[in-house]
Structure 1
Amino acid sequence: MSEKAPVTQAIRCLRQQKVPFGEHLYAYEEKGGTAVSARELGVDEHCVIKTLIMEDEKKQPLVVLMHGDKEVSTKNLARLIGCKTIAPCAPEVANKHSGYLVGGTSPLGTKKTMPVYVQQSILDLPLIYLNGGKRGFLVSLAPQALASLLPVQLVDVMA
């Protein structure tokens, strides 16, 4: 793709914090998820990190970062953080909290400041691919950089 990468809030955040990152555009497919982005970029889906906007029983939003090829155990997450329940937000609610469209949600530069829970095994990867704030656009960076960019809490909530 000869298209120029967009300058999103996520990109502004990375530049402001002087975090080295790569920009990766790909052909977005509706409901394709991390399987499509991994295929299009020729990378392991395990290294493509999905950004999930969820909420607790009080409708308080939170961000969960998980390997693209894994699922989140919302029951374990709720237990770990002392909530009754955790559930994914409806797309329009997630869009409102993050300021991004679902399918293009980045954990960086969100509209609302939310707690960020990161599957701890993500930090074992040499390089991760995160959504850059627009559908069809990922950024690659060292997973350890997440801690300098976000108030992360490491958890083990793989289902």
Structure 2
Amino acid sequence: MASKRAPSGNPASPATPATTALDRAGVRYQVRAYEHDPAAPSYGLEAAAALGVDPARVLKTLLVDTGAGLAVGIVPVDRQLDLKALATALHVKRVTMADPAAAQRSSGYVVGGISPLGQKRPLPTVVHAAALGHDTVLVSGGRRGLDVELTPTDLITLTRATTADIAR
């Protein structure tokens, strides 16, 4: 998988904080763009279908509130985040889904395009352990209609994540 970034001016795959973070880290990745349908009921399942990728390999980035700050859970798009399991993995009593406006402010991305990469400030992050069973995974590239494909090991390294069984 070669590092791919379209020349500036190409609206299909512009530079984003996520691709900039990948480039700076020297990580090999592939940009995977698709035509986003604003009426799609699930951004993640839409991405998997549009890109022809098994939904288990397409990961969604969900921000949660720990009561002491925000954190990130990354799970396959065809699964749900298990809030109790994530709380356990983060060593906190409980977590709730973050307010969308707070998630956008913290990450610098819009809901539906929140990437775990290149966020404004690093947050405690947990990746669903099953991601390690794939050669590559896809996460949001920083906007709706743009994913990046990389190894799960690189994702974990760049986000300083831990892994745990956090999906149901």
Trace 1:74-93 onto structure 2 (pairs within 5 A). 74-93=83-102
Trace 1:40-79 onto structure 2 (pairs within 5 A). 40-58=50-68, 60-79=69-88
AA aligned opposite 2:47: S
Structure 1 distance, partners of 2:127, 2:118, is: 16
Aligned residue among 129, 153, 158 for 1:120: 129
Residue-by-residue CA offset, 1:124-145 (whole Å, 9 max, x unaligned): 1111111000111001111111
Aligned residue among 8, 11, 16 for 2:24: 16
Aligned residue among 109, 134, 137 for 2:143: 134
Question: How much does 1:57 deviate?
Answer: 2.4
Task: Flag the 1:69–1:96 CA change in 2: closer, same or farther, 3 A.
Answer: same
Structure 2 distance, partners of 1:15, 1:40, is: 25
AA aligned opposite 1:109: G
Task: Flag the 1:17–1:80 CA change in 2: closer, same or farther, 3 A.
Answer: closer
AA aligned opposite 2:24: Q
Task: Flag the 1:112–1:41 CA change in 2: closer, same or farther, 3 A.
Answer: same
Return 148-157 or 46-55, whichever deviates more: 148-157
C-alpha RMSD of matched pairs (Å)? 1.4
Name 1:146's counterpart in structure 2.
155
Percent identity, aligned pairs only, is: 30
Aligned residue among 101, 106, 128 for 2:115: 106
TM-score computed with the length of structure 2 as normaliser: 0.88
TM-score computed with the length of structure 1 as normaliser: 0.92
Question: How much does 1:3 deviate?
Answer: 4.3
Gaps in structure 1 of 5+ consecutive residues: none
Gaps in structure 2 of 5+ consecutive residues: 1-9
Question: How much does 1:79 deviate?
Answer: 2.8
Name 1:32's counterpart in structure 2.
42
4+ residue runs over 3 A deviation: none
SS in 1 for 2:152: coil
